[in-house]
Amino acid sequence: MPATWIFLIVLALAAIGYVLGRGRALASAGGDSRHLHSLPSYYGANAALLAMVPALLVLVIWLFAQPLVIQNRVEHLVPETSYETEGELSLVMSDVRRIAEGLDLAVERGALSADEASDIRVEFTDIRERLGSVGVALGSDVQAPMLAAAKAWREMNATGNLIRSIAVVLVALGGFGLGLMRAEKDFRARNSVEKVIKGLLILAASLAILTTLGIVLSLLFNTIEFFRLYPALDFFFGTTWAPSFGGGSELGILPLLWGTFYISLIALAVAVPIGLFAAVYLSEYASPAVRSFAKPMIEVLAGIPTIVYGLFALLTVGPLLFQAFGPGTLGWMGGGRAVMTAGLVMGIMLIPFVSSLSDDIINAVPQAMRDGSLGLGATKSETVKQVVLPAALPGIVGAILLAASRAIGETMIVVLGAGAAARLSLNPFEAMTTVTAKIVSQLTGDADFASPEALVAFALGMTLFVITLGLNIFALWIVRKYREQYE
Amino acid sequence: MTDATASGVPAGKHTSGSLLEQNPRTKRRNAAEARFKMYGMAAVGIGLVFLVLLLVAIVRNGVPAYTQTFLSLPIELKAEALDKNGNRDLDDIRKVSTFGYNPLLDEALLRVVADNGIESDYSGADLRKMISSSAAAQVRDYVLTHPADIGETVEFRVLASSRVDGYLKGRVVREDLERDKNLDAAHLDIIDVLRDEGVVSRTFNWAFIFGADASESRPEQAGIGVSMLGSLFMMIVVLLLSLPIGVAASIYLEEFAPKNRWTDLIEVNISNLAAVPSIVFGILGLAVFIQFMHLPQSAPLVGGLVLTLMTLPTIIISTRASLKSVPPSIRDAALGVGASKMQSVFHHVLPLAMPGILTGTIIGLAQALGETAPLLLIGMVGYIASNYPDGVASGFLDPNSAMPAQIYEWAKRADPAYYERAWGGIIILLLFLMTMNIIAVILRRRFERRW
């Protein structure tokens, strides 16, 4: 029975539970709801929740666990001679699964009968062709051990599914019965329902932790896998980035890190002065009319998707810079894609980020400090430079750090604007590449996930995650540590 | 304003004490003040100039994508070429592939050229370079749906090739064609005449808005409609998951959570997730949803799940802000008449906070709609979204693209005709984002209560 049907059955049970539970509770109070502890609907909801929540939990856990258990068991059926490394095993396993799914599909489409599918033999049937006829393409001909594994897979899957259906429905029925039994006038239904709801709320809140955990684990496992295939020292200190999917790649992260930092540096060099001056002007000088017009307009820049900036870099800014600095004039630039292109456009993207964060911080500086300075005879600009900015400095540094972490993690602008060549160079008009751009290029396409060339993307992701996380925590720490003084 | 106090006192005269006279130091300080203010104005100005430049670039480059060049061709649907047996049997007609239609196109083109009095030594196949390679399929589709018209001459509006289209839009000039094997300058002379005769015309291009993507060699045919649907299905997933989960999480954290380690951990996690680069969420999606759970690649469902995880922090942060803005007296009143804490939250606080929550959700959705990087990793790029999904289930599970991914895909293709499409796609994307933001602003203005 497919999972959707079980799900619907459980839902139906819950609905029936609601009606019956409510009715039973009312009946136990002689039809007068004043004698009940809680409102009648709580008794119904109690029965419905008891029928639904544990059953669905079991279903979800089962859906996750069953493939893992089966995979583990079937792996032992694959003869050890047919693979050498972990990576090859995972390829074999994905073939096995595809055969098993293909057989299921063939039965479903009527190309094979159920008996035929379980008795199928390599010697008598061209399985590749039969599966091809229902739209399952296999990379190679099917070997006997793989077919055996696939059959075992199907069998275990079928029994697993059967047990799953029975277990889930039994749990639902149990909850249903319990809920009905409890639907009786002295039962504190509201408290019980609210406890369940609170549990669900906690679950939702914990999803944030689960997401972080998911990120860390998926990065960690694949990174460890990568370091098993490629020495960590060469990765962190190598100065050449030359992946080749045939093997023998050099995967040093330094050129990528250099590209990332160079581009971020240029971006910050554009965004920080403009953003900071704009924030100072808007909060200290501008009339309310100018402020109410200019502030949202600048913030529009923050709402524009990064793909738009990427295209702007690739098709507008790149060619413009190429005209200005290309072979026709100064000859510094070899093509439109360069560190300068990406950095400039990223700087534009970061202006509202710096300006609105700094604006908030400057506004938080108490007016009394300005008044004191102005009263002593300082001009407005002197007040800003010597009183307001120092007071707001920790916050501003925090904002700049957050902007830097944004710049380092930015993907689309560098993918489209910075070029693909990894090199260590000081010339900002040369094409360079970044960590994020290489994550994209190593993981898109039909790479096999077991090769170091694909796995390196996870190590790059891990590096990126650690750097941005460090910057964020540092920024928050600075803000928190120095903020109190001026409040 | 620096000279506001400068009167007619001659410079360089260091008389002391008069307030009407500026000493050099004051002048310097006032000049510094003026300079500082100017820097500020310049910074705001530069920001605005960048915004204007960006918008001008988008509109200027994108608007041409909304018109397309067509040729009106009377094509004789010869029975001997299309239906050799003459019994109008659909299966027989279907056997004629698009190649079989090319001679008909050639003939029609030659006739049009001759009718308009153009001297040309081009063969039909040479002339066919002027029209899109989709023309044969268009005629074939027509014949398959109107088999009765075989033998008649039917007027078709076929797409011009992307080079011809670019020429009429001013993107392609004659010099560009010297090394181009797809079209020659002589073709453009023919096009000039045909345009004057009204055979070649440019009209609004609905196919760009509602159409499907095309292969790399036919930019004139590509549209963004299918990937728009992909984005729609993704947004449905994001809305259905992130709104309830986000609201539930915020209610817990804002109303129920005790101050303890676990709560702190959740808070720290949420604020950190909000700052994690989007590409990392793509890696998470790839590893968890595709590698581990074996969900289908390129499916809007997976894209939606990844974007949900990405938007949740945004939604939680804004929901908590609007829950916080509901005054405690509301809660106290509810508790005072015997409601439980849960009832006070769900019956009173939540409805009052709803406008703020919806505003935050819409802004989160807008952010998710424009996000590209995570979609690259779960395979929504490199896939040619050429078919509409068959139904709701296929909309969620079949490979599709999404608007930003489609734009990226077009930007990557070598043919400059695709750049125009990419800019055009951006206009649609920005229109969507603008609408969503305007709705959010209206919601906030109309329904948000100030206490």
Interface test with B, best of A49, A220, A281, A400 (most B CBs within 10 A): A281
CA distances A143 to A49, A73, A114, A121, B374, Å, are 49, 19, 21, 10, 38
Alpha helices in B66-222 (DSSP H): 79-82, 90-95, 102-115, 124-127, 135-145, 162-168, 185-197, 206-210
Average of per-residue pLDDT across B106-116: 83
Q: So what CATH class is B225-447?
A: mainly alpha
Is B252 within 8 Å of A198 when comparing Cβ atoms?
A: yes
Contacts of A402 in chain B (CB under 8 A): 275
State the nearest Cα–Cα gap between B46 and chain A, in angstroms. Answer: 8
CA A447 – CA A455 distance, rounded (Å)? 10
* Number of domains present in the structure of chain A: 2
CA proximity to A401, closest of A345, A459, A361: A361
Asked whether the beta carbons of residue B280 and residue A409 sit closer than 8 angstroms, the reply is yes
Chain A residues within an 8 Å CB radius of B64: none
pLDDT digits (tens, 9 = 90+) for B11-41: 555 556 677 788 888 889 999 999 999 999 9
Cβ contacts (< 8 Å) between A216 and chain B: which residues?
Answer: none
In this complex, is the C-beta atom of A297 within 8 Å of any C-beta atom belonging to chain B?
A: yes
Q: Is there a single domain that holds both residue A106 and residue A209?
A: yes
Segment B143-147 mean pLDDT = 82
The pLDDT, as a whole number, for residue A280 is: 93
Q: Is there a contact between A201 and B256 if contact means CB atoms under 8 Å apart?
A: yes
B274-to-A168, B268, B315 alpha-carbon distances in Å: 36, 10, 10
- List A residues 448-467 in contact with B (Cβ-Cβ < 8 A): 449, 457-458, 461, 464-465
Report in angstroms the alpha-carbon separations of A360 from A249, A356, A393.
48, 6, 12
A-contacting residues of B 232-261, CB under 8 Å? 244-246, 248-249, 251-253, 256-257
User: Are A267 and A402 part of one and the same domain?
Assistant: yes
**pLDDT band for position B74 (cuts 50, 70, 90):** confident
Token digits of residue A389: 């900015």
What is the distance between the alpha carbons of residues B285 and B298, in angstroms, rounded to a whole number?
11
Q: Residue A226 domain-assigned?
A: no
What pLDDT score was predicted for residue A124?
64
Q: How far apart, in whole angstroms, are the C-alpha atoms of residue A321 and residue B198?
A: 41
Structure confidence at residue B131 as a pLDDT band (50, 70, 90): confident
Range 155-194 of B in CB contact (< 8 A) with A = none
Which are the contacts of B229, defined by CB distance < 8 A and separation ≥ 6?
B388, B389, B395, B400
- Pair (A249, A194) in one structural domain: no
Q: Is the CA virtual torsion B274, B278, B283, B289 positive or negative?
A: positive
Does the CB of B438 have a partner CB in chain A at under 8 Å? no
Do A106 and A188 fall within a single domain?
A: yes
Type and span of the H or E element at B387: none
Count of A–B CB contacts within 8 Å?
A: 260
* Separation between Cα atoms, residue B266 and residue B135, nearest integer Å: 58
- Best of A362, A376, A381 to disrupt the B interface by mutation (most B CBs within 10 Å)? A381
pLDDT for residue B6 is more than 50: no
Residue of A nearest to B422 (CA): A311
Contact B280 A215 (CB under 8 A): yes
- Under 8 Å between Cβ of B58 and A308: yes
Domain presence at residue A420? yes
The stretches of A110-188 forming alpha helices (DSSP H) are: 114-119, 127-133, 144-182
Report residues of chain A scoring pLDDT below 70. Answer: 1, 81-88, 90-91, 110-112, 114, 117-118, 121-142, 245-247, 445-448, 483-487
Answer yes or no: do A408 and A463 share one domain. Answer: yes
Where residue A421 sits, what CATH number does that domain have? 1.10.3720.10
Cβ–Cβ gap B248/A465 under 8 Å: no
If asked whether residues A201 and A245 sit together in one domain, one would say no
Surface-to-core class of residue A450, CB atoms within 10 Å of its CB (0-12 exposed, 13-18 middle, 19+ buried)? middle
Residues 6 or more apart from B330 whose CB is under 8 A from it?
B344, B348, B349, B352
Token digits of residue A406: 């944004």
Residue A443 to residue B426, Cβ atoms within 8 A: no
What is the 3-state secondary structure of B283-317?
HHHHHHHHHHCCCCCCCHHHHHHHHHHHHHHHHHH
d(CA B220, CA B427) in angstroms, rounded, equals 18
d(CA A238, CA A250): 8
How far apart CA A481 and CA A398 sit, in angstroms, is 11
The pair of three-digit structure tokens given for residue A217, joined into one six-digit string: 């684990």
**Contact between chains at A274 and B47 (C-beta distance less than 8 A):** yes
Would A231 be classed as within a structural domain?
no
**B277/A468 touch (CB, cutoff 8 Å), yes or no:** yes
Residues A103 and A36 in one domain: yes
Tell me: pLDDT of B366 over 70: yes
Asked if B313 and A439 come within 8 Å (Cβ–Cβ), the reply is no
Report how far Cα B59 is from the mean position of its chain's Cα atoms.
Answer: 13
Query: Which chain A residues are closer than 8 Å to B276 by Cβ?
Result: 215, 409, 465, 468-469
Residue A17 and residue A51 share a domain: yes
Phi, psi of B183 (to 5 degrees): -160, 150
The pTM of this model reads 0.86
The predicted pLDDT at position B44 comes to 93
- At B326-351, the pLDDT tens digits run 999 999 999 999 999 999 999 999 99
Residue ranges per structural domain of chain B: 2-62, 66-218, 225-447
**Distance (Å) from the C-alpha of residue B29 to the closest C-alpha of chain A?**
8
Same-domain pairing of A204 and A247:
no
* A159 in contact with B, Cβ within 8 Å: no
Cross-chain residue pair A205–B40, CB shorter than 8 Å: no
Q: Which residues of B76-101 are buried (b: 16+ CB within 10 A; e: fewer)?
A: ebeeebbbeeeeeeeeebeebebeeb
**Bridge partners, residue B202, by sequence:** B69
Q: State which residues form the domain around A442.
A: 241-486
Q: Does residue A233 lie in a domain region?
A: no
Task: Tell me how far apart the alpha carbons of residues B375 and B372 are, in angstroms, rounded to a whole number.
Answer: 5
State whether B46 and A219 contact (CB < 8 Å): no
Task: Give the pLDDT of residue A111.
Answer: 67
Question: What's the rounded Cα separation, in Å, for the pair B211 and B312?
Answer: 32
Helix (H) or strand (E) holding B11: none
Q: What is the pairing mode between strands B200-204 and B153-159?
A: unpaired
pLDDT tens digit string along B409-440?
888 887 888 888 899 999 999 999 999 999 99
Q: Contact A238/A250 with Cβ under 8 angstroms?
A: yes
Q: Is the Cβ of A209 closer than 8 Å to some Cβ of chain B?
A: yes
Same domain, A363 and A276: yes
**Separation CA A250–CA A240 (nearest Å):** 6
Asked whether residue A457 is assigned to any structural domain, the reply reads: yes
Of B248, B265, B313, the CB nearest to A200: B248
Tell me which residue in A222, A306, A464 faces B280 most closely, judged by beta carbons. A464
User: Nearest CA to CA, how far is B150 from chain A (Å)?
Assistant: 35
Q: How far is B414 from chain A (nearest CA, A)?
A: 12
Domain contains A149: yes
Q: Which two tokens stand for residue A13?
A: 């049970």
Q: Which of A104, A218, A408 to mutate to test the interface with B (most CBs of B within 10 A)?
A: A218
Query: Residue A225 domain-assigned?
Result: no
A396 and A308 in a single domain? The answer is yes
Same domain, A190 and A47: yes
Given a contact cutoff of 8 angstroms between Cβ atoms, the answer to whether A338 and A438 are in contact is: no
In this prediction, residue A86 carries a pLDDT of 61
Please state, for a pLDDT cut of 70, what percent of chain B lies above it.
95
pLDDT tens for each residue of A62-88: 888 887 888 788 877 777 766 666 666
With an 8 Å Cβ cutoff, are B271 and A469 in contact? no
Residue A49 is which amino acid?
L
Is residue B247 scored above 90 in pLDDT? yes
Give me chain B's average pLDDT, please.
Answer: 85
Closest chain A residue to B41 measured between Cα atoms?
A281
Residues with Cβ within 8 Å of residue B449, at least 6 apart in sequence: B352, B355
Interface check B125 vs A, CB under 8 A: no
Using the Cβ of B373 and the Cβ atoms of chain A, whether some distance falls under 8 Å is answered with yes
What does the pLDDT read at residue B385?
Answer: 67
